[in-house]
Amino acid sequence: MSYEAHTQDRLYERLSNAIAEAGREKEALFFARLALLLFERINDEQACLQAIHAALDELPEPSLSAVH
């Protein structure tokens, strides 16, 4: 399933704001909690495992803008 560009933009913006709201110290905890909540909604272990694998497999190198 793929979202339309405007839906992706809205979700990305809200996610970015939520990451900033959580703060650098709690960023990893925020992502872990978000993942667990989404896993519960998906309710499909294999799909969740495939998503974890895909996220690791397609993880890009940090860009210069991401370096602090």
Domain boundaries, position 54: 5-61
Measure the CA–CA gap between 65 and 68, rounded to whole angstroms.
Answer: 8
Task: Provide the domain count of the chain.
Answer: 1
- pLDDT in the model for residue 63: 78
Please check whether residue 26 lies inside any domain of the structure.
yes
Residue 9 lies in a domain: yes
| pTM passes above 0.85 | no
In angstroms, the CA 54 to CA 68 distance is: 26
Of 56 and 1, the structure prediction assigns the larger pLDDT to: 56
Has residue 28 been placed in a domain? yes
In a domain, 68, yes or no: no
Model confidence at 64: pLDDT above 90: no
Residue 14 lies in a domain: yes
* Alpha helices for 1-68 (secondary structure H): 5-22, 27-42, 45-57
Tokens of 4: 């339309």
**17 in a domain, yes or no?**
yes
Least confident stretch, 2-6, 9-13, 14-18, 48-52: 2-6
Look at residue 67 and tell me if it is in a domain.
no
Could you tell me if residue 66 is inside a domain? no
